[in-house]
Structure 1
Amino acid sequence: MALWTMILRKMAKNKWLQLNLWFGLTVCVALFSSMPLYSEAILQRTLIKELERIQSQSGAYPGFVRISTSVSASKMDEKTRAAIVRADQYVQRIPQRMGLEALSVYRQRFTQRMKVYGADATGQEKQSQKTAGGFKALSDAEKRVRLIDGRMPEVREDGIFEALVTQKFLISAKRKLTEELIAESPEGERFRVIPVGIIDTDPAADPYLPFLTTEVPDGFLIPFAQFEKEFTLGGKARVSDLEWRLALNYNQLTVDHVEAFMQASKEIKRYFRGRLGVDEINIPAGETVSSYAGKQEKLDVMMLSLYAPVMLMLAFYLYMAANLVIDRQKTEIAVLRSRGASRLQIMASFTAESLLLGGGALAVGPFLGVTFTKLLGASNGFLSFVQRSALEVTLTSTAYKVAALAVAGAILLILIPAFMATRVTIVGHKQQMARLTKMSFWHKTGLDLVLVGIAVYLLYNFNNRQEDLKRLALDQGALQVDPLLFLMPALFALGGGMLVLRVYPWLIRLLFRAGRGIWPPALYSTLIQISRSSGQYLTIKVFLVMTVATGLFSANAARTINDNMESKIRYNVGADMALTTRWESDAPAPVYAGGAQQAQTDLGIAETRRTQYTEPPFQPFRELKGVEAAARVFKKEARFTAGSEKVSGAATLLGIDTAEFGRTAWMKNGLLEYPINSYLNVIAPNPKAVLISRSLAEEAKVAPGDPIRLAWDGLDQAQFTVYGIVDYWPSWNPLPAGGEGEADNAAIPHLVVGHLTAIQNRLAVEPYEVWLKLRDGVSSQQIYDQLAANKLSVTSLRDARAELVTSKNDPFRLAINGVMTLGFVISMLISFFGFLLFWLLNLSGRTLQYGVLRAMGIPFPQIIGMLVSEQFLTSGAAVLIGVIIGNATSELFVPLFEISFATTEQVPPFAVVYRLRDYVQLYGIVGFTLTVGLLILGYRLSRTRIAQALKLGEE
């Protein structure tokens, strides 16, 4: 009990230090616990959204399961009946196997097809009658169909079947309702049937599994129990087909149960394969769900690598705070050791103290992790947030396990300074206080050189790997980022910062000696203080260097990834929206019968006859509300002949109206030698003027002013004149298809850009694309609605904005933007608290010094000048070094993210992006931290009384 009393008193005495330490532990726990929470929550939301997209695109309910099988047995023997019963029982357990609630289930049974005719039909009518249909049964039919005439059937004892039929089937049988029909099986068995009701689809009967009468073969729908009795068990006619349909609650499907869902799907297919006959299994969500297998593990690794720089900074923060706590207690520890206390006893007290802090962090941290997770879900870019639907986050046992491991690791880190302090006696402690210039452990062991060496070695390997990928044309996924891409910069920033700080004290000494006789007293005293006590500033300087360097790298990396992905989408589409419409033509209808095809050949119709098209009105697209500009863009694979050697080949021909195209198309700056509008202005006056790609110019040895002839199948070549050469053009990919080497000239794409009117007049009028540029604030849905309202027949559409939204909602991209933003904010926050903590303790430890200086007659403004100069030479210098290291880290490691993009599809080419706004934000936050810190320190210094300082020194 005495030990706990001492621990609590000691913690109360250093309450502000303990609170800072607890804050660092809590943030550490929150970060670690948010990793599994985020990966599970974001994948869950993405999974559900992709399943919902299935319904919007195909109309199929995402939880739909359809099992259909034929019955190969020629007659309903005991073995077949038992197999059907077992199949029914197996289907009943499918929801349990998949772990999803069954919202709706129904079964269908079908007999073989039979000839149907009226009971009073004559022999001639029987012979001419072509109507066929079998008996069928639907579970809970009375709840699933809409009765439009007659009544529901009843089971009769006189051998006559009452049935429901569709209007189409009744008309085909040429009989009226309640008139008796005969169904004759291929074996000659005859069944008397009376249609008593006409049915149709009732969509409102079941929102999940509507029974569509048009989806099943026509026949007689009889009560399910009667079908089972007469056919399945009675064997009066052969049961030919069985079907089960289920609607499962897909909203209950979690990422954790993806494996169970996939396993159940495989078992369903395996169970029905050949068991009764030919089976057909339809699970629309299967492919989407299977794509999530293993995705959570990959995202967890990604999150860990993204958090690596933040974790390093947190480790520094915890180590610095713990070191400051221990520094204030070193005298007490040394006294305890001199009075017989063992190291084990002292460490036990510090361990108990750390466990109390860790327990408090574990109680609050996971809930803060939930907040972090929701913040990650709202990220739309680096330091950008949107009103996206909040992630559904629930604390799990996994999150608490990860949080507990984080606390354990942090406690071990905190105990390191305490363990080092217990090795020092009271004499050794006094000696250490007098020798603050000794080299740090990091520099003694050469840790800075080791870290820089590891980072450079990994960088060398990555560069070699990237060159191999380009040479072999191996494609990566859309965005598969290697975790080392985030760990390497953190190691380099840490090692590089410590390496520069190894040299920095010598620079201070050189500066001191250079102006020894001219420095004012405040700066003179500061230079002496820093040069003699460089070791005590090392931790805060490394901390600030890491914060600034990783902040800059995070900003540049996030901007680069986002900008390159968005540029790729916009460039490939060419404008905000690109669509094609249906054109009227004289093209013959597709012919499938050999005889008809032969007839056309006999008539002498040429198979290569060119189709004549009628151009639809273009004005309606210009008049769409919200459309700023519209352009016609004709695309066609054409043949060219050019150059003195008459080189010929294939090229993509683009026909445009220069004015329309210039107002509508999107083009990234810097891809062309001159702005794209300059090229458009060059060819605008001459209808025969064209632009060609550099690949075509080099292959055909063509220069501006040379002629080029163009045509495609069925046309005579027309001559045009080259007016310019371009490397890129909106929507055109200059990279070889399949990534083949440049030596293979046939695989290198070529481009010709000309006037649409000239192409139509001199070659042919054929369908073109319509490109739209939307006004700011106009949604794509508004355009879709207008296209439908104006009955503009759209055959294909690409929406750059929709693709950008899909790209931004990718779990891995959300993780990058969210974690980098969160990491940047947390880094700035802990750097602010770390800065204040260090300097407040440093100020309180030097109260005597400042009191003596005041007593010697140095005015207060000069004391403040000493404090400001000390801040600039330590914290300010650390920030400047951090900027230098951050820029160097960005230059070296941000280009490596090119390996994360498809090497043969990244157009425009990968480019490192820097934003002045990010630098301004970073400098603003750091400047705010330093300013607030100086104001607080100045205020504390102004409240210091000289008499109290001198009295403290005497004691």
Structure 2
Amino acid sequence: MGNRRLLATVMVGVVLSAALMSSVAIYSDAIRDLGLKFALEGENPRDLDIEILSSSQGFTGELYDDRVEITGRQLATGVGEILDATVRYGRSDTFFLAPVGVPPDLEDDGRPRSHFQFYEGLDEQIEVVEGRIAEIASPASGAPAVEVMLGAKAAVQLGVAVGDSFDLHPFWALGSEPVKVTVVGLIAPLDPDDPFWFGVADESRFIVTNTSWPTYAFFVPEETLTGALTTYLPDLRGSFWTYGLVDADKVNSRNAGGIVDSVKGMSAGLKAEILRTTVNTELPNTIESYEEKLFFTRLPLFALMVQIVGIVLYYLVMVSNMLVERQVGEIALFKSRGASTGQVMLIYFIEGAMLCLVGVVVGPLLAGTAISLLGLTPSFSGLSGGSTIAVNYSIWAILLAVVGVLLALAALLIPAYRATSNSIVNYKQSLARPPQQPAFLRYYLDLGLIVVGAFLFYQLRQQGSLVTDRLFGDLSADPLLLVTPTLFMLMIALVFLRLFPLVLRVASWAGRGLNGATIPLGLVHLVRSPLHYSRLILLLLLATAVGMFAAGFRATLEQSYDDRSAYEAGAPARLTYTRGGSPPDQFVSQVEETTNSEGVTPVARMSASYSDLATFTFVSSDLLAVRPGEFEQIAYWRNDFAGASLEELMGRLVPEEEEPAPEVGKIPAGNRYIGLWAKPPDLLTNPAFHGRMAVRVSDENKSLWEFTLFPVGEPDTGGWQFYAGALDDPESPRNQGSPDPAQELQLDAIFFRFTQAPTGDTRHVFLADALQTGKALPAEDEFGFADPTIVDEFEDVAGYATIGGVSQLRQPAVLSRVEEGRSDRYAAKLEFSVTDQGPQLFGFRPRSGADAMAVIVSEGFLEETGLERGDATLLYINRQYVNVVIAGSFSYFPTWDPNGREELVVANLDTIQDLAARVPVLATGAYPNEAWLPSADGMDLDPEALVLPGSSFAPEVTTEAGLREEAGSDPLVAASWEGILFLSFASVLLLTALGFVVYSFLTAQSRSLEFAILRTMGFSTRQIFGLVSFEQIFVIVSGALVGTFLGMPLSGLMIDFMGVNERGEDVIPPIVTQVSWSTVLTVYSLLAVVFVATIVALAILYSRLSVHRALRMGEL
């Protein structure tokens, strides 16, 4: 009892040890229950209910009863504890319905059908709109007369009234006598949304609207179906449903795992006992998905809790050592007077056991109370509804509390046992010469611990995660790897403790030249008793490091969720249309008008692929076509996504300026027809070759139209045939209308397409006088248009280039000028060879732009293809091959998932418009299908309000703010670490402050004589205050600085290994370590208040000590 104040501080540590250990189980159970409840509430209740369907089953009595018994037994045994009720429903096979005495018309596919159905407990769930409840039919020697009920809505639809009778002919026995039914009642469900109906009351039970023929769904008592009808039709079959209505409130963390196993076992058992039976429910998937999310969400929290408990145990060791050191003299006196080691240890064991008993009782209660109060915090409001959290004191919580107090008891007894080896002489020697190092440093045990920690850290580095795969594919957390961060932190702390005396000696040597005695005297005392000060430094170091890790972890997760939302959205807002149909500028204008926004940039998302037949390499990729200069102003980007900035990467996509190509093929406005003269080869004139000639034109918006040219009239005397087509009747695209006659057009291509041409020989065709006119087609006896306007005479073909990209052949055709003109000297000659590689399409088009475009690609694309920056290759884009040059690479790009199966290629949208749309028929216009917006403010996010003019497709709306809100809407993600971080901070702050106070109190008692003598030697109050302040500040600053610098890399290393999301996948983009300096400064400020108050109190105490009082407080 003489040390009751000091024992009270030990009791705080014991209680905290038990509380923190038990809080792992209590907090885990509370979070599991709340999170599971949230997950279940997010599902449609019908999806959680259990549906057992047995199809193509008989209705005979014994088989039917066995099926009912087996199904009910399996449900009751497997999941009976969570069911509110069970409902049985049955439906017969189809009957053909006809008026009484009239056979069904079997030739009519739309003939009426019917079936019988029953519900267990139907009478209590319906209202009789007209008539009465059907009676049970009695078996008869022939076809029974059956009373039936019909849904009131179905009766209106089918024109049925009470009293109407029908003949029902079984489809499998049309030769048998029909079953006569009479409608005796029209019914309706009391509540169509009642779980009893399993969500299908008005869909298929009371009225059937999903068939092309009239369906009469007749309700009968169950006994009618299994009695009279089965007696008459023994081979009558049907389907049976048993619904288990789940009460989600009965599902909790303690029975969830068993429920999953029971449902799976029940499904397997029913399939084995009853043929053609299936069990449908989303309950196991929901629970398993939640458990997986919980596993990955709690993983870093357990690692953090290990560190917190470690600090608590160290606090106990430190305080216990101080307590024992104060009593070493008493222990030595007991030993000198005959007390045995066992007797001394019994004293401490009794003291420790009493403290541990209090810890076991109070610790879990304290943890449960603190966790319960977390429900009042904003982080838990989504889970707890603003009330306290219900906690459960499971057996695991009590066992963990016992483990915590046993560890605390060991921390108390070990110092006491070491002290029993001291004699009076040893005790006197330790007073004169304090130990310089603890035993684990003297015997280099710290080096062994460093080796173990380094090995585990190496394992963690090799594995890349705290998660391990079990033998059968399950995920688990390796306990050894979970303590790795704690060992790593302890490794650094031990290294510091080994170097600390050296640092003190250097500081003491450097302070010899200082004026005054305060600082040199303080340094001398630090050098003389480094072990005494190192204990507090180690506590400060560990506490500060964990505080940095906790503060960094919270800030890092917040930033990670922001980054993930921005990365997935790509921009503040993104609209994705199912397909693009408008040129970029028109698309942007439509989007800006629809969304009432500015600064929209168009993006085309399509597929691209790389293939190398020589190495059998094929790489499938997504392609993102963007506009440099606009895209980088809107898109989300981080410097670690690539080795270059986004501005630099976009700049590489801009093509170099080239000399403009000659302008050819301009079609003036106001024309309706286009035509040209040609000397076609036999493969075009021979109908068996299925060849055709066509042209493609474009307008100023780069909209494309293709027109087939047909022969007009007979060839002239020179063998030239005139071909013409109407500009108001495009072959494709049909959904885009025809070109505006008042707009100037551009001849985009002249081409030939064959489907059955013979291969091998070189072929050629001559073209001359490409003409167009706004008048009618020429008459059969005329040669060409009556008043033609020459578009191009093909006197010079330098402005044209052959169409490439149909296949991987670099030059599929050759275009030249020859002296073979019709009205002039020259004509164009297109020479080509028909091969079996790719579509047989040949032609030429006006020369425009470069022949290759620059692209930037993902790092994975380079690895799979073996290409490097600067390499030229072919990519298959928009159904044609395009020459590209690799201009750069990246590791991450907004909206792209590197964990997916597709790589990514990024190109210039305007360049794609030209190079990837050069092959008629195959390559349509590469139009944008996404709009990236700089802001979502003021925009109506309803997809139906964002349908573009001329389209009926609503876009998919993705906003950065929406994704961030969705990520934060799951309170499990935030609350699961928010609460534990709060408890961790509170524990660290309390223990550090309490440890400092205890340390200072014991130091005051042990050094009272020293400071009293200093006062009698002339030290002033200010000097005493300065000496105490210097020693304490030196210790505090050393521990805090080292802990801060230790916590930053510790936080970074741990977050690297914990960089998985709640589904166990790598976080995209990678987590970037953050530090919440405001949180750190808050903790430091609170600790500083405690430290300053303690230092001032000690200084006042020391300054008032006199020699005669000091002699009574200690031994001279």
Q: Which category describes the TM-score, using the shorter chain as reference length? A: 0.7 to 0.9
Provide the rounded CA distance (Å) in 2 between the counterparts of 1:691 and 1:796: 30
- Asked if the contact 2:147–2:183 (Cα under 8 Å) also holds between the matched residues in 1, the reply is yes
The question of 1:98 aligning with 2:83 is answered no
Per the alignment, in what secondary structure is the counterpart of residue 97 of structure 2? strand
- Indicate whether 1:622 and 2:605 are aligned: no
Provide closer, same or farther for how the CA distance between residues 661 and 517 of structure 1 changes in structure 2, counting only shifts above 3 A. Answer: closer
Q: Tell me the equivalent position of 1:857.
A: 1018
Q: Which of 1040, 1043, 1046 lines up with 1:879 in the alignment?
A: 1040
Name the counterpart of 1:693.
856
Could you tell me which of 379, 383, 408 is aligned with 2:406? Answer: 408
Q: Choose which of 341, 354, 357 in structure 1 pairs with 2:355.
A: 357
Kindly tell me: are residues 408 and 85 of structure 1, through their superposed partners in 2, closer, same or farther at Cα, counting changes over 3 Å? same
Amino acid corresponding to residue 403 of structure 2 in structure 1 = L
> Partners in 1 of 2:1052 and 2:879 — Cα distance?
53
Aligned-residue Cα RMSD (Å) equals 4.7
Shift of the alpha carbon at 1:430? Answer: 2.4
Partners of 2:501 and 2:106 in 1: CA distance = 112
Question: 1:62 Cα shift?
Answer: 4.2
Indicate which of 111, 117, 127 corresponds to 1:136.
Answer: 117
Aligned to 1:671: 641
Instruction: Confirm whether residue 21 of structure 1 aligns to residue 10 of structure 2.
Output: yes
Residues 657 and 522 (structure 1 numbering): CA distance in 2 closer, same or farther, change over 3 Å? Answer: same
Of 300-309 and 450-459, more deviation after overlay is shown by: 300-309
Against the structure 1 CA distance between its residues 119 and 274, is the aligned structure 2 distance closer, same or farther, given a 3 Å change threshold?
A: farther
CA shift, 1:443, in A, is: 0.9
Aligned twin of 1:195: 183
Range with greater deviation from structure 2 (103-112 or 685-694): 685-694
Pick aligned residue for 1:727 from 890, 908, 923: 890
Query: Which moves more between the two structures, 290-299 or 131-140?
Result: 290-299
**Is it true that 1:750 corresponds to 2:905 in the alignment?**
yes
Identify the residue that residue 841 of structure 1 maps to in structure 2: 1002
CA distances 1:417-460 after superposition (whole Å, capped 9, x unpaired):
22222333334322322221343112123122122222222233
More strand by share: 2
Which AA in structure 2 matches 1:846? Answer: R
- Cα deviation, 1:925-949, whole Å, max 9, x if unaligned, reads 5544433332332343355456533
Q: CA deviation at 1:732?
A: 5.3
Does the C-alpha gap of structure 1 residues 585 and 928 become closer, same or farther in structure 2, counting only changes over 3 Å?
Answer: same
1:663-706 superposed Cα distances (whole Å, 9 cap, x missing partner): 54322245356654576689799998986315689977776xx9
Tell me the SS of whatever aligns to 1:215: helix
Corresponding residue number in structure 2 for 1:644: none
> What CA distance in whole angstroms lies between the structure 2 residues aligned with 1:361 and 1:488?
28
Higher CA-based Rg: 2
Question: Which residue in the other structure is 2:90 paired with?
Answer: 109
* Counterpart contact for 1:633–1:771, Cα < 8 Å: yes
CA shift, 1:544, in A, is: 1.8
What number of residue pairs does the alignment pair up?
878
**Alignment of structure 1 residues 361-400 onto 2, 5 Å:** 361-373=359-371, 387-390=381-384, 391-400=389-398
State the match for 1:456 in structure 2. Answer: 454
How many Å separate the matches in 2 of 1:247 and 1:648?
51
Give the distance between the partners of 1:409 and 1:725, measured in 2 at CA: 58
Q: CA deviation at 1:463?
A: 3.2
Q: Which one has the bigger helix percentage?
A: 1
Which runs of 5 or more structure 1 residues have no equivalent in the other structure? 1-9, 470-475, 587-609, 642-646, 739-746
Q: Deviation at 1:840?
A: 1.8
The CA deviation at 1:577 is 4.7
* Conservation of the 8 A alpha-carbon contact between 2:508 and 2:520: yes
Aligned to 1:67: 52
Cα distance in 2 between the residues matched to 1:584 and 1:911: 36
Relative distance call for 1:304 and 1:210 in structure 2 (3 A) is closer
Q: What letter corresponds to residue 260 of structure 1 in structure 2?
A: G
Question: For residues 973 and 479 of structure 2, what CA distance do their matches in structure 1 show?
Answer: 12
Q: Within 1, Cα distance between the matches of 2:641 and 2:651? A: 17
- 1:31-90 Cα offsets, whole Å, 9 max, x none, are 1111112222223333333333331xxxx52431111113545x72x5414413423642
Tell me the equivalent position of 1:931. 1092
Moved more, 857-866 or 128-137: 128-137
Deviation per CA, 1:578-611: give whole Å up to 9, x if none. Answer: 443456989xxxxxxxxxxxxxxxxxxxxxxx9x
The 5-angstrom pairing of residues 191-590 of structure 1 reads 191-200=179-188, 203-204=191-192, 206-207=194-195, 209-216=198-205, 218-231=216-229, 238-273=236-271, 275-291=273-289, 304-373=302-371, 387-390=381-384, 391-466=389-464, 484=480, 486-516=482-512, 518-556=514-552, 559-560=555-556, 563-564=559-560, 566-581=562-577
Distance 1:350 1:269, change over 3 A: same
For 1:561 and 1:89, how far apart are their aligned partners in 2? 48
CA contact (8 A) 2:605 2:929 kept: yes
Q: Which amino acid is 1:845 matched to?
A: S
Deviation track 1:544-584 (CA, whole Å, cap 9, x = no partner) reads 22222333344445555664565345323313454434569
Amino acid at match of 2:185: G
Cα 1:802–1:396 shift into 2, 3 Å: farther
The whole-number CA distance in structure 1 between the counterparts of 2:6 and 2:152 is 85
1:39–1:296 contact (8 Å) kept in structure 2: no
SS across alignment from 1:836: helix
Native 8 Å contact 2:913 2:927 kept in 1? no
The answer to whether the 8 A contact 2:947-2:955 is kept is: no
Displacement of 1:339: 3.3
Match of 1:37 among 12, 26, 30: 26
| Counterparts of 2:217 and 2:315, CA distance in 1 | 78
Structure 2 distance, partners of 1:907, 1:110, is 50
Query: Partners in 1 of 2:1035 and 2:177 — Cα distance?
Result: 102
2:928 and 2:259 map into 1 onto residues whose CA distance is 46
| Residues in 1 aligned to 2:109 and 2:1049: alpha-carbon distance in whole angstroms | 89
Give the match for residue 4 of structure 1: none
C-alpha distance 167-767 of structure 1, shift in aligned 2 (>3 A): farther
Give the drift of 1:277.
Answer: 3.8
State the alpha-carbon separation in 2 of the partners of residues 758 and 655 from structure 1: 9
Letter of the 1:102 counterpart = L
1:367 shift after superposition: 2.6
Match of 2:63 among 60, 66, 80: 80
Displacement after TM superposition at 1:318 (Å): 0.6
Q: Please say if residues 319 and 414 of structure 1, whose CA atoms lie closer than 8 Å, have aligned partners that are also in contact.
A: yes
> 5 Å matches for 1:160-175?
160-166=145-151
Provide TM-score, normalisation by structure 2: 0.69
Task: Name the aligned partner's letter for residue 117 of structure 2.
Answer: K
Is the 1:29–1:407 contact (alpha carbons within 8 Å) kept by the matching residues of 2? yes
- Contact 2:873 2:885 (8 Å CA) reproduced: yes
Q: 1:19 deviation in Å?
A: 2.1
CA distance in 2, matches of 1:319, 1:632: 65
% identity of equivalent residues: 20
CA shift for structure 1 position 193: 1.1
Corresponding residue number in structure 1 for 2:770: none
1:46 aligned to 2:46? no
Q: Which piece of structure 1 moves more, 391-400 or 194-203?
A: 194-203
Task: Note if contact 1:107-1:138 (Cα within 8 Å) is conserved in structure 2.
Answer: yes
User: CA–CA distance in 2 between the matches of 1:901 and 1:271?
Assistant: 33
1:178 deviates by 1.4
Deviation (angstroms), 1:873: 3.2
Structure 1 residue 838: Cα displacement: 0.1
Aligned partner of 1:768 among 929, 934, 942: 929
- How do 1:697-716 residues align onto structure 2 when only pairs under 5 Å count? 712-713=877-878
Alpha-carbon distance in 2 for matches of 1:438, 1:124: 108
Distance, in Å, in 2 between the alignment partners of 1:232 and 1:326 is 90
1:940 corresponds to 2:940: no
